[in-house]
Amino acid sequence: MNSINMRIFSIFTLFAFLGLTGCGSIESAAQEDCTSIGWQIGSKGYQDCYKARLYERKLDYSLPPGDKPSPSLI
């Protein structure tokens, strides 16, 4: 590979790495929501909270009914 292609590849890799480090999973976000309000992991209340928050977050990130994903411009 020549120098220009190597630089472009390195910059792209850096941006991809930085972009993915900020992403957390829906499950970890739901867990953080429940522990932040005081539920202890493993308790009945925590399990109910976790299931409810997980369901809400999946709804937040899902496409509306009948909507088709569009291709990315990137």
Domain residue ranges in the chain: 25-62
pLDDT at position 52, please? 94
Which residues contact residue 53 at a Cβ distance below 8 angstroms, ignoring those fewer than 6 apart? 29, 30, 33, 34
Burial of 30 (0-12, 13-18, 19+ CB in 10 A): buried
Q: What is the pTM of this model?
A: 0.54
pLDDT at position 59, please? 85
Gap between the Cα atoms of 18 and 16, Å rounded: 6
pLDDT at position 48, please? 94
What DSSP designation does 43 have? Answer: S
Q: Would you give per-residue pLDDT tens digits along the chain (74 residues)?
A: 567 777 777 776 756 555 555 456 888 888 999 999 999 998 999 999 999 999 998 888 777 777 776 676 66
pLDDT at position 1, please? 53
